[in-house]
Chains A and B, each alone.
Chain A
Amino acid sequence: MGSNCRIECIFFSEFHPTLGPKITFQVPEEYISRELFDTVQVYIITKPELQNKLITVTTMDKKLIGCPVCIEHKKYSRNALLFNLGFVCDAQAKTCALEPIVKKLSGYLTTLELETGFISNEESKQKLVPIMSTLLEDLNAKGACTLPIDESNTIHLKLIEQRKDPQIVQEYDVPVFTESKDHFIKSQWDLTTQQIFPYIDGFRHIQKISAEADVELNLVRIAVQNLLYYGVVTLVSIFQYSNVYCTTPKIQNLIDDKPIQEQCLAYVTKPGQKRASLRDVFQLYCGLSPGTTVRDLCSRYAQQLQRVDERKLVQFGLMKGLIRRLQKYPVKVVRDERSRPPRLYTGCHSYDEICCKTGILH
């Protein structure tokens, strides 16, 4: 659960027919001061144009998130019921994950009011306080909350972590699991993912997976992109002994960062052998330089490779960004009047891509 979106307070505010906008309940008590509410009340109980919109206002070191609701009906004094259930967080906190919850809650309360008059009835309104306390505790502790409102209604809320958009997956990319394959619970995923799951081994590229698993190429791409979004896989490039790699500045992490060191040595050691030494592994990575193919590395560092699997070495290096692949891009430079402009040889498509697309051997 996101540790930086702790909810400090939940408040329920409404427009009282005589007193105007006020905070009816807040949990914990007295969290929002009079001055704070006076300053922001125009954003809590709003004009009609802003209703049903998610409003977040930051002031006095606090952030208030709310969704004002207006229900119009002749039975209410002033012909309308205006209320707002909102959260208060620290001004520096990232609150994007809380927004869908606030919106959902406002929807729930609107429905409850329309069906049973939950809010306009003074007695049932008191039930809001224990509801708000439970919400506050559960969301902060577990990131999820399930609470029954009355005999027939239950509210389900969950904090969803916001992730970055995943990159586009190409047919020459190779997916590799970030954690052990055993942690993967197949039944939680969709059918396509279940079907391609056995073929993801960190060496097969998308086109190959699609051919062997008998799933259409674009479906495989979407499924892998989905896995990428949830951080279950990362993408590396196709492994060939003729590939050329070079180190990035991140290679320093192997020296500085103990956990990565441990992870690396465990990952690259050949099964059944004694653990490889850091010096050997580091030397191998540093041996990967532009101008050296993996084949050259194997012949030069045969002694270091006794206990190290070179394919896994490269895989780990790519996953953690310790090394990067040098791709070759053919560019057609000389053109005479009669030849067509190059379609693939423009410098935008790598050898890998061209080979995948056209079936030509490397």
Chain B
Amino acid sequence: MGKTRARPQLSNNNYSITKKMYKQTDGSVHRSGDRTSPISVILVSSGSRGNKLLFRYPFQRVPEGASSLATKQRSPYALNPTGDVLEDQDGDSRFSDIILATILATKSDMCGKKFELKIDNIRFVGHPTLLQTPHTIQVSKTDPSPKREMPTMILFSVVFALRANADPSVIGCMHNLSRRIAIALQHEERRCQYLTREAKLMLAVQDEVTAMTENENSPQSPFRQILPKCKLAWDLKEAYDSLCTTGIVRLHINNWLEVSFCLPHKIHHVGGNHIAPEALERCLKAIRPYHALLLLENEKAVLGQMPLDCSPALVRLIKTCSAVKNLQQLAQDADLALLQVFQISAHLVYWGKAIIIYPLCENNVYMLSPHASICLYSSLAEQFSQQFPGNDLPSMLAKFSLPISLSEFRNPLDAPVQEVQLIQMVVWLLQRRLLIQLHTYVCLLVPPGQDEPGPWDEEPPLVACVGGRSLSTPSALSFGSPTSSDDMTLTSPSMDNSSAELLPGTDSPLNRRMTETLLASLTEHERQAILSVPAAQNPEDLRMFARLLHYFRGHHHLEEIMYNENMRRSQLKMLFDKFRSVLVITNHEDPVISIFQSPLE
């Protein structure tokens, strides 16, 4: 065993900085992975036999007896080498079974609520559940029948031990899982006393092993013996292992009730950072009918992971979805309501089976994601060469160094087979979160007047009420017909749009009044600037500009305007060009959808 020189402990900050100086950035992936993994899972109960620790996983490490004797013989001046390890202070093993039973099996008035206890750098979270109400026990106490002798369980709790610096959202998720397991166990207990039976088994094995240990003086973990005999113990071990690896837990309590759970922090993991659940929620709320659902694995694989009794709508959706079809079309093809499609898509995204993209079409512009791993030796590079022999990932990614549209990317002189393969490669890259899509955003910014002193005169126009269109998801059904490719035909204008009253072609007083109303929300200076643009002399163009005014705040991209207003890309581009002296165009990724590729810090 090598000698390690103990480094003197400076104040916490300096020590951690020095240590991190020489650590590779990859180390941070493991650290953040640890923060989202539980340290252990513990099952405790409280009943007529007192507080008991029924099961605990992982088992305690090497028995303390032998090593503690050795340390006592060392010189009192020797520094403790184990104190040097700052990282994996798995303090869970410092707690004996008895003390855990005392602190985790709470009083009955803490039941039915979140239980959170932090001791030094371990945080315990659980959901203590009452099995019987206290007064029934009192009744049985006065009952003189011999049945009273049977030990009864009053409450139990499935507790997860986490690192103290775990994210609050992780703590919330673990509590959720604890509660779900508790509900299932409570149900099974009421139905067939499942928990009592398992508990009896666990305690019997524990007593057996304790007796054996006293005789033979070779300490063993009783929990190791429980594992093969007890289904519940096995389930808890499964849950723990899944939480530490994939983040997807699927248990069958008593082979009957299913408990399923996923930890978003493990599933949605990009470049060393996890995507915050709040960002995920925001993204799910922002799904629009013109978005598409992209499965992260092939259809068969995803279907294979669905439980046997999943809804047929889900199966139909998975079978019909594709990278080129938007959700509205998907709803029509799968014969489902749009709202249902949104819900199922959100569900698939949450469970990490799919992501939201803008449907593939020629005019899409893609670029390398800032978090893409371009290392020559990454596992992705290997997978790519296996999937597409003869091509290597870095060369492919180099093509996307600068933004490139799909039409530029394809070579029309290539054989159609090669073209198909190119599209497949792009889909592969999207699935592995290597590409982001850039959209065009427009902002109204008029040049300042000569005599006006400063920026405070350029108040952002109040466009809250113009158009009155709410772009939230459930009302998506009222929008005009969508398009996935750029092939648009002008259909009748959508409802609740102020432009519906603008009759095309004529310069009626009605139209002029509408245009004036729309422009009235701007400051005088802005209105003047707009009207002084040569194109404003054309009433059609001015009307179109006024109608689209509320999109020019930089929050809506070109494709969204196209979808909402039923317009062609060429029409919009021409309009932007005509009014370029008062507009500024910028290109960047959609902040809501791009969280899958580049979570904003």
Q: Are B588 and A251 in contact (CB under 8 A)?
A: yes
Q: Flag B427-461 by CB within 8 Å of A: 1 or 0 each.
A: 00000000000000101011110000011001010
CA distance A331 to B445 in the complex (A): 42
Q: Are A282 and B119 in contact (CB under 8 A)?
A: no
Residue in A256, A285, A331 with the greatest tally of chain B CB atoms within 10 Å: A331
Query: Is the C-beta of A361 less than 8 angstroms from some C-beta in chain B?
Result: no
Residue in A265, A279, A291 with the greatest tally of chain B CB atoms within 10 Å: A279
Query: Is the C-beta of B216 less than 8 angstroms from some C-beta in chain A?
Result: no
Which chain A positions have C-beta within 8 A of B118?
A: 54-57
Query: Is the C-beta of A125 less than 8 angstroms from some C-beta in chain B?
Result: no
Residue of chain A at shortest CB distance from B26: A348
Range, interface on chain A: 35 or more
Q: Are A218 and B21 in contact (CB under 8 A)?
A: yes
Q: Give which listed residue, A43, A49, A168, A326, contacts B96 with CB less than 8 A.
A: A49
Query: Is the C-beta of B591 less than 8 angstroms from some C-beta in chain A?
Result: yes
Query: Is the C-beta of B1 less than 8 angstroms from some C-beta in chain A?
Result: no
Q: Are A286 and B586 in contact (CB under 8 A)?
A: yes
Stretch among B187-195, B332-340, B372-380 lining the A interface: B372-380
Using CB atoms and an 8 Å cutoff, list the residues of chain A in contact with chain B.
Answer: 35, 38-39, 42-43, 47, 49-50, 53-59, 165-166, 168, 218, 221-222, 225-226, 229, 246-252, 255-256, 261-262, 265, 275, 277-279, 282-283, 285-286, 289-291, 321, 324, 326, 328-329, 331-333, 342, 345-348
Q: Are B586 and A290 in contact (CB under 8 A)?
A: no
Q: Are A277 and B117 in contact (CB under 8 A)?
A: no
| Given contacts A249-B590, A331-B398, A39 and B110 within 8 Å (CB-CB) | yes
Rounded to whole Å, the gap between the CB of A282 and the closest CB of chain B is 5
Q: Are A47 and B99 in contact (CB under 8 A)?
A: yes
CA distance A55 to B601 in the complex (A): 32
Q: Give which listed residue, B119, B392, B588, contacts A248 with CB less than 8 A.
A: B588
CA distance A331 to B374 in the complex (A): 9
CA distance A9 to B114 in the complex (A): 22
CA distance A286 to B18 in the complex (A): 40
Stretch among B59-67, B101-109, B287-295, B486-494 lining the A interface: B101-109
Q: Are A49 and B594 in contact (CB under 8 A)?
A: no
Query: Is the C-beta of B149 less than 8 angstroms from some C-beta in chain A?
Result: no
Q: Are B23 and A168 in contact (CB under 8 A)?
A: yes
Rounded to whole Å, the gap between the CB of A347 and the closest CB of chain B is 4
| Pairs A–B under 8 Å by Cβ, sample size 17 | A39-B110, A43-B103, A43-B117, A53-B120, A168-B21, A246-B367, A251-B554, A252-B441, A255-B443, A255-B553, A279-B448, A286-B586, A331-B374, A331-B398, A333-B392, A346-B377, A347-B374
Q: Are A226 and B584 in contact (CB under 8 A)?
A: no
Q: Give which listed residue, A42, A56, A333, contacts B395 with CB less than 8 A.
A: A333
Q: Are A252 and B587 in contact (CB under 8 A)?
A: no
Rounded to whole Å, the gap between the CB of A202 and the closest CB of chain B is 21
The count of chain B contact residues (Cβ–Cβ below 8 Å) is 62
| Given contacts A58-B117, A59-B110, A332-B376, A278 and B585 within 8 Å (CB-CB) | no
Rounded to whole Å, the gap between the CB of B16 and the closest CB of chain A is 7
CA distance A247 to B99 in the complex (A): 56
Query: Is the C-beta of B403 less than 8 angstroms from some C-beta in chain A?
Result: yes
Q: Give which listed residue, B17, B117, B402, contacts A166 with CB less than 8 A.
A: B17
Query: Is the C-beta of B513 less than 8 angstroms from some C-beta in chain A?
Result: no
Which chain A positions have C-beta within 8 A of B133?
A: none
8 additional contacts, CB 8 Å, given A279-B448, A279-B584? Answer: A53-B119, A55-B117, A59-B115, A165-B16, A166-B17, A249-B591, A250-B600, A290-B403
Q: Are A347 and B114 in contact (CB under 8 A)?
A: no
4 interchain residue pairs of minimum CB distance: A249-B591, A286-B586, A56-B118, A347-B374
Rounded to whole Å, the gap between the CB of B432 and the closest CB of chain A is 15
Q: Are A247 and B587 in contact (CB under 8 A)?
A: yes
Q: Give which listed residue, A56, A225, A246, A321, contacts B17 with CB less than 8 A.
A: A225
Residue of chain A at shortest CB distance from B168: A94
Q: Give which listed residue, A278, A328, A342, contacts B445 with CB less than 8 A.
A: A278
CA distance A43 to B401 in the complex (A): 58
Rounded to whole Å, the gap between the CB of A265 and the closest CB of chain B is 6
Which chain A positions have C-beta within 8 A of B117?
A: 43, 55-58
Q: Are B23 and A42 in contact (CB under 8 A)?
A: no
Rounded to whole Å, the gap between the CB of A292 and the closest CB of chain B is 10
Residue of chain A at shortest CB distance from B398: A331
CA distance A328 to B374 in the complex (A): 11
Query: Is the C-beta of B113 less than 8 angstroms from some C-beta in chain A?
Result: yes
Query: Is the C-beta of B527 less than 8 angstroms from some C-beta in chain A?
Result: no
Q: Give which listed residue, A56, A252, A291, A333, contacts B394 with CB less than 8 A.
A: A333
Q: Give which listed residue, B115, B377, B588, contacts A246 with CB less than 8 A.
A: B588
Which chain A positions have C-beta within 8 A of B460?
A: 255-256
Q: Are B591 and A57 in contact (CB under 8 A)?
A: no
Q: Are B375 and A39 in contact (CB under 8 A)?
A: no
CA distance A54 to B375 in the complex (A): 44
Which chain B positions have C-beta within 8 A of A329?
A: 374
Which chain B positions have C-beta within 8 A of A42?
A: 102-103
| Given contacts A50-B119, A333-B392, A283 and B587 within 8 Å (CB-CB) | no
Within 528-556 of B, Cβ neighbours of A (below 8 Å) are at: 553-555
Q: Are B109 and A35 in contact (CB under 8 A)?
A: yes
Rounded to whole Å, the gap between the CB of A333 and the closest CB of chain B is 6
Query: Is the C-beta of B370 less than 8 angstroms from some C-beta in chain A?
Result: yes
Query: Is the C-beta of B116 less than 8 angstroms from some C-beta in chain A?
Result: yes
Which chain A positions have C-beta within 8 A of B20?
A: 165, 168
Residue in A221, A248, A265, A278 with the greatest tally of chain B CB atoms within 10 Å: A278
Q: Are B446 and A279 in contact (CB under 8 A)?
A: yes
Q: Give which listed residue, B23, B102, B554, B584, contacts A47 with CB less than 8 A.
A: B102
CA distance A23 to B377 in the complex (A): 63
Q: Are B120 and A221 in contact (CB under 8 A)?
A: no
